[in-house]
Amino acid sequence: SRLMMEYTTKIRKSDKCFNENNENAPTLQAARPPQLHIHCLDFAPTAIELLQQDTRFKAAAKEGRATAHVYDLSSMHPSDICISPDTTSNSNHSNGVSQTNQNAATSKESKQTLANSADIAILLYCLSAIGPHPSPALSRAARHAMDMLKPGGILVIRDYGRLDEAQIKLGTGTVMGALGRIDDANNSYEQIIQQNNESGKQSQKKQKHQKDEKELSDNFYRKGDGTGCYYFELDDLRDLFVNRGNECDKLELLELDYIQRIYRNRGEGTMRRRVWIQARFRKPLLCYGP
């Protein structure tokens, strides 16, 4: 929630924010009308149900400051989510089919949707669960996230970074071999990742049929709970979100970097290395999508 508050405390009028639900409740409690409107999206119906039971969400929803929707970022366009004041706070979604537009008689013009509506959109550990880069599902998810923004809107992302300790524990071979390079102070982190990528390409030529069963594809793994997790490097997000040359259908880059933390347990004599990737992008004012 601290990351959210950094970008929402300066908001003066009715702005909209998209985020994981476990980070929404503290912000809803702190932001009073008409400063902040939050539309909470999650793939899991259970997560939406739990959020709707939170007293802070109930209070915000009653004041018209919050809605909650079951939503698959990789398959549903934000125009499928209706946020008009007369809609309920929960839009159901089953088997990938949106049931948001329950009133077929309502004209398109009279409905306000999430498309081109958000001043700020926040994706926390969302993209990594969708698929590896490149993949059609991840490309669709990126496009849908960009289409939520109004001109000048900001997209904030934090997700898992390449060679995070969780990846090292899931992986074998070249990923495990990266530990020594991380400990070498003479190597920058981006140099370490480049070396690991080159080692991985050489290893793939020799052991195409010997992939670990947890590794679904390069840098994309199946976790213990059965969900997937992709570990990003900086260029992945550049490819997905940043305009190149004369392009104007994507976003402007404001910030893109690795966040590295080392957590030591002196009692057990252990150390954990965590790596995240954090980014901020802005939708151009004069050139944007539908």
Q: Is the pLDDT of residue 48 over 50?
A: yes
- Among 128-137, 180-189, 192-201, top mean pLDDT goes to 128-137
Least confident range of 7-21, 56-70, 86-100, 226-240:
7-21
Residue of 158, 154, 142, 128 lying closest to 17 (CA atoms): 154
Instruction: Give the pTM.
Output: 0.74
Tokens representing 70 are 């079951």
Token look-up 């309920």 returns: 88
φ/ψ (deg, to 5) at 15: -110, 160
The confidence score (pLDDT) of residue 73 equals 95
Average pLDDT over residues 22-29: 56
Buried b (16+ CB within 10 A) or exposed e, 224-248: eeeeebbbbbbebbeebbbeeeeee
pLDDT band at 175 (very low <50, low <70, confident <90, very high): low
Residue range 129-153, pLDDT digits in tens: 999 999 999 999 999 999 999 999 9
Token look-up 């125009």 returns: 79
Question: Measured between alpha carbons, how far is 159 from 285 in angstroms, rounded to an integer?
Answer: 26
Alpha helices in 54-148 (DSSP H): 55-62, 136-148
Residue range 265-282, pLDDT digits in tens: 888 888 888 999 999 999
The confidence score (pLDDT) of residue 155 equals 97
Mean pLDDT estimate for the chain: 76
Residues 6+ apart with CB under 8 A from 234: 190, 256, 257, 258, 277
Torsion of Cα atoms, 276 then 198 then 218 then 250, to 10°: 60
